[in-house]
């Protein structure tokens, strides 16, 4: 009944209405009515009848052959009542074109009489699903005091020549707040806002002169009697009645639905906590700025901001405090940056920013400095003053990408690099992309490589400095990748730490080294050192795990030396002390690695019972550069002796370094002067010597 271009709008609002509406011109013939011309039929009515064209629909509406035989008599009687009372309702079974029957409740009203001709307004409601209640509906007249008073849709007729209302049903009157006596003296354009009145007048004028039917769909605000605007979805048609062109409108008050849609849009596109655009809306705004930037040859900066240590705030002060900080960060960004700059809250402690009119390196420096300055002032939460900083990753349009997704991805890659490097700001570069791609490759390759047996331990001899006799070994892990070859630990240990895969690697090297070295330890009295990472040491089950592997491999606990770095020891000192006590109770020796490189060495020498202290290679390699490094090493050796620990120097590469260490009193050492890390077979050969 209306052009295909209107169908999406019709489906949106009107197709769901349970009522079909039609306008029919009929002629009185004796005591009967004969349909002559179908002036208007809504799409829902055509759907009920199962007919597509107005011509075929007109032939079936009042066709007795389409009425169930049991209902035909009541159908005919209702026509006679209509001519007397001008309004009637009836319930009957209607046969669709496909042979199926629908239970239809029809309301009929005479809108105008002219001699033997009548203008009828009809309303169909499908009651098929409620057919069990048919008898009640047929007899309960109170439910239908007015057919059109119950219609869930607005119905209006109006003269296209002068715009006068000819008919308005109660739904329409209720929405507009008028009585019929008040509305009938108004013109159609008087119930729309001033800004639309000229458009409505021109539309009515054009339709009055057109020699054909024409459909329009409006989403139009109407002004109620109290001056309130209500958004109405209105489908209009035109037909000829006697000597005038008449418009018919069928519509619904869409105000509640539009309000709901706006609220849903706010939820979907705006962060409820900060009020800033969400990530989805950020991308849409970026898409528009890219189009403008390409047209005007402007450069954009897409930045992702991440608050440092925000999780600790949530953990210590609670989520409510964290939310207050996020809202304050959003407020500061809005107040401190230009209005044209886009600010967005992605999730948690991550924000997105878009800066326009970027002109070279200086502009970037200004932008990044401004953001850092905005966050520099402490945040006050109750009695706490919290100082936050942020890391920022950025990407430039058009240099780094031409789509929103690509630019955001590269800004996030730059942020990731900033976090890893400890820098405040990182701008995307191809090197970052290559590095991240390599990390992604190695991350999956490590998992597959461990399953395929590509990892293996090597052993660096530890010697007694006085006679260079091998007294132990440090187990180290190596990875032989089938394509990349032998990879040094620096290529994968840090990544394994970051991803948590270090635990799997640690479990592997622990069991493998103890299994391989168990015979050598028993036969030659050697000890085995194994370094445990901070992540491994944070596992509260570590002592039980080591105890189980020692028993299963038959490795003597007193010959197992567990190395822990100062950095690891400083994290959660109380927990570290508890774990070390459990390990020592098993007979395991504790070695403090990288001694002298931390800031609390003296403190931990007192708090932790250690059996051996490892002098870092930094001090060993500087022994020949002057007296100061020698004095430091001499002090470390003296400290070790004062707490009953032995000293082991690592990284010995020259005879001169060895002689100085012997003179100072260091007992053990390892380094390339004696041997590099060796496979099990070569280590065995060296021991047999």
Strands 390-397 and 425-427: parallel
Range of the domain at 256: 154-269
pLDDT of 675 strictly over 70: yes
Residue 148 to residues 145, 167, 611: CA-CA distances in angstroms?
9, 11, 96
pLDDT in tens, 481-514: 998 899 888 888 888 887 888 889 999 999 999 9
CA atoms within 13 A on the CB side of 159: 13
In a domain, 336, yes or no: yes
CATH number at residue 622: 3.20.20.450
Handedness of CA 133, 138, 139, 140 (dihedral sign): positive
Same domain, yes or no: 168 and 312: no
For residue 592, the cross-strand partners are 564, 613
pLDDT of 131 strictly over 80: no
The reply to whether 431 belongs to the active site is no
Same domain, yes or no: 263 and 286: no
Q: Which pLDDT belongs to residue 518? A: 92
What are the DSSP E strand ranges found in 441-578? Answer: 455-464, 469-481, 485-487, 527-531, 560-565
The pairs formed by 542-547 with CB atoms below 8 angstroms and a separation of 24 or more are 542/579, 542/583, 543/579, 543/582, 543/583, 543/586, 545/507, 545/510, 546/510, 546/583, 546/586, 546/588, 547/586
Kindly state the average pLDDT of the residues 30-55.
77
What pTM, to 2 d.p., does this model score? 0.51
In a domain, 607, yes or no: yes
As for how many domains the chain has, the answer is 4
* Out of 123-132, 282-291, 571-580, least confident range: 123-132
Same domain, yes or no: 158 and 144: no
Boundary-marking domain end, from 209, 241, 269: 269
**Mean pLDDT score across all residues of the chain:** 82
Same domain, yes or no: 462 and 565: yes
In a domain, 13, yes or no: no
In a domain, 11, yes or no: no
Q: Are 112 and 24 in contact (CB under 8 A)?
A: no
Kindly state the average pLDDT of the residues 598-619.
73
pLDDT of 2 strictly over 50: no
Q: What residues contact residue 237 under an 8 Å CB cut-off, 6+ apart?
A: 1, 2, 40, 213, 214, 215, 247, 248, 249
pLDDT of 316 strictly over 60: yes
pLDDT of 195 strictly over 80: yes
Same domain, yes or no: 145 and 175: no
Same domain, yes or no: 123 and 223: no
Q: Provide the b/e sequence for 380-414 (b: ≥16 CB within 10 Å).
A: ebeeeebebebbbbbbbbeebbeebeebbbbbbbb
Q: Are 58 and 39 in contact (CB under 8 A)?
A: no
d(C-alpha 683, C-alpha 669), whole Å = 16
To which residue do tokens 């200086």 refer? 362
Q: Which pLDDT belongs to residue 656? A: 95
Residue 75 to residues 26, 106, 350, 359, 684: CA-CA distances in angstroms?
16, 10, 69, 80, 108
In a domain, 4, yes or no: no
Handedness of CA 443, 448, 451, 456 (dihedral sign): negative
pLDDT in tens, 356-382: 888 877 778 888 888 888 888 888 887
Which element (helix H / strand E) includes 466? none
Same domain, yes or no: 524 and 560: yes
Q: Are 220 and 232 in contact (CB under 8 A)?
A: yes
Q: Which pLDDT belongs to residue 250? A: 82
Query: Above pLDDT 90, what percent of the chain?
Result: 28
Same domain, yes or no: 615 and 529: yes
To which residue do tokens 């190395």 refer? 563
In a domain, 433, yes or no: no
Q: Which of 25, 51, 474, 650 is catalytic?
A: 650
Same domain, yes or no: 37 and 176: no
Handedness of CA 581, 586, 589, 594 (dihedral sign): negative
Q: Are 302 and 412 in contact (CB under 8 A)?
A: no
Same domain, yes or no: 173 and 259: yes
Q: Are 163 and 186 in contact (CB under 8 A)?
A: no
Kindly state the average pLDDT of the residues 396-422.
88
Residue 133 to residues 91, 129, 137: CA-CA distances in angstroms?
12, 9, 6
Which element (helix H / strand E) includes 516? helix 502-524
d(C-alpha 121, C-alpha 246), whole Å = 13
For residue 386, the cross-strand partners are 379
pLDDT band at 647 (very low <50, low <70, confident <90, very high): very high
What are the DSSP E strand ranges found in 7-100? Answer: 19-29, 32-41, 87-95
Q: Are 149 and 170 in contact (CB under 8 A)?
A: yes
pLDDT band at 7 (very low <50, low <70, confident <90, very high): very low
Among 464, 533, 548, 465, smallest CA distance to 496 is for 533
In a domain, 10, yes or no: no
Q: Are 125 and 19 in contact (CB under 8 A)?
A: yes
Boundary-marking domain end, from 151, 175, 200: 151
Same domain, yes or no: 597 and 458: yes
pLDDT in tens, 78-114: 888 888 888 888 888 888 878 888 888 888 888 888 7
Q: Which pLDDT belongs to residue 642? A: 86
pLDDT in tens, 170-182: 888 989 999 988 9
CATH number at residue 405: 3.30.70.270
Tokens of 268: 């979907």
Boundary-marking domain end, from 428, 455, 472: 428
d(C-alpha 35, C-alpha 25), whole Å = 6
Same domain, yes or no: 132 and 56: yes
Displacement of CA 677 from its chain's centroid (Å): 48
In a domain, 234, yes or no: yes
Q: Which pLDDT belongs to residue 549? A: 94
Q: Between 525 and 433, where is the model more confident? A: 525
Helix, strand or coil for residue 20?
A: strand
Q: Which pLDDT belongs to residue 512? A: 95
pLDDT in tens, 434-458: 877 777 888 889 999 999 999 999 9
Helix residue ranges per DSSP H, 177-239: 180-183, 194-209
CA atoms within 13 A on the CB side of 645: 26
CB atoms within 10 A of CB 349: 21
Q: Which pLDDT belongs to residue 271? A: 81
Query: Above pLDDT 70, what percent of the chain?
Result: 87
Which element (helix H / strand E) includes 368? helix 360-376
């Amino acid at each position: 009944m209306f052009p295909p271009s209107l169908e999406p709008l019709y489906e949106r609002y009107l197709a769901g209405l349970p009522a079909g509406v039609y306008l029919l011109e009929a002629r009185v013939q004796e005591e009967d009515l004969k349909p002559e011309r179908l002036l208007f039929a809504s799409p829902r009515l055509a759907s009920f009848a199962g007919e597509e064209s107005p011509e075929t629909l007109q032939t079936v509406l009042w066709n007795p052959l389409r009425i169930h035989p049991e209902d035909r008599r009541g159908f005919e009687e209702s026509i006679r009542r209509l001519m007397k009372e001008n309004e009637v309702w009836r319930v009957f079974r209607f046969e669709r074109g496909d042979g199926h029957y629908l239970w239809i409740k029809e309301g009929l009203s005479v809108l105008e009489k002219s001699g033997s001709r009548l203008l009828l307004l009809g309303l169909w409601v499908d009651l098929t699903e409620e057919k069990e209640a048919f008898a009640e509906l047929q007899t309960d007249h109170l439910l239908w005091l007015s057919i059109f008073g119950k219609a869930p849709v607005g119905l209006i007729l109006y003269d296209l020549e002068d715009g006068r209302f000819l008919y308005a049903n109660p739904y329409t009157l209720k929405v507009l707040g008028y009585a019929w006596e008040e509305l009938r003296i108004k013109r159609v354009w008087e119930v729309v806002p001033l800004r639309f009145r000229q458009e409505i007048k021109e539309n009515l004028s054009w339709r009055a002169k057109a020699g054909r039917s024409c459909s329009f769909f409006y989403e139009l605000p109407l002004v109620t009697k109290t001056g309130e605007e209500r958004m109405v979805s209105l489908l209009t048609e035109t037909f000829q009645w006697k000597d005038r062109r008449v418009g018919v409108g069928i519509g619904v008050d869409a105000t509640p639905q539009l309000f709901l849609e706006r609220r849903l849009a706010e939820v979907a596109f705006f962060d409820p906590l900060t009020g800033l655009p969400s990530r989805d809306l950020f991308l849409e705004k970026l898409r528009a700025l890219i189009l403008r930037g390409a047209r005007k040859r402007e450069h954009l900066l897409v930045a992702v901001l991440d608050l440092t240590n925000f999780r600790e705030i949530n953990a210590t002060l609670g989520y409510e405090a964290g939310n207050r900080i996020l809202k304050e960060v959003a407020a500061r960004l809005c107040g401190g940056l230009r209005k044209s700059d886009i600010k967005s809250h992605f999730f948690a402690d991550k924000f997105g920013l878009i800066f326009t009119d970027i002109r070279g390196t200086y502009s970037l420096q200004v932008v990044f400095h401004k953001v850092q300055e905005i966050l520099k002032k402490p945040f006050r939460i109750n009695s706490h003053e919290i100082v936050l900083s942020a890391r920022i990753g950025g990407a430039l349009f058009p240099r780094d990408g031409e789509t929103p997704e690509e630019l955001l991805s590269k800004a996030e890659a730059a942020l990731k690099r900033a976090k890893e490097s400890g820098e405040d700001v990182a701008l995307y570069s191809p090197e970052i992309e290559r590095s991240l791609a390599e990390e992604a490759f190695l991350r999956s390759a490590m998992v597959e490589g461990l399953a395929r047996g590509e990892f293996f331990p090597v052993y660096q001899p530890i010697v007694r400095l006085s006679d260079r006799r091998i007294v132990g070994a440090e187990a180290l892990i190596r990875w032989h990748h089938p394509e990349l070859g032998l990879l040094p630990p620096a290529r994968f240990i840090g990544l394994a730490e970051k991803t948590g895969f270090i635990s799997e690697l640690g479990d592997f090297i622990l069991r493998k080294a103890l299994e391989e070295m168990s015979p050598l330890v028993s036969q030659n009295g050697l000890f085995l050192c194994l370094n445990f990472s901070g992540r491994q040491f944070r596992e509260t089950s570590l002592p039980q795990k080591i105890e189980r592997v020692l028993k299963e491999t038959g490795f003597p606990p007193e010959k197992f030396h567990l190395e822990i770095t100062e950095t690891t020891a400083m994290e959660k000192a109380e927990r570290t002390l508890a774990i070390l006590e459990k390990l020592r109770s098993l007979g395991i020796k504790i070695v403090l690695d990288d001694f002298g490189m931390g800031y609390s060495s003296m403190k931990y020498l007192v708090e932790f019972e250690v059996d051996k202290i490892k002098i870092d290679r930094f001090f060993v390699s500087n022994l020949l550069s002057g007296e100061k490094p020698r004095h430091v090493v001499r002090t470390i050796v003296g400290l070790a002796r004062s707490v009953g620990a032995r000293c082991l120097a690592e990284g010995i590469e020259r005879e001169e370094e060895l002689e100085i260490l012997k003179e100072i009193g260091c007992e053990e050492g390892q380094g390339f002067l004696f041997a590099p890390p060796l496979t099990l077979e070569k280590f065995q050969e060296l021991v047999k010597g």
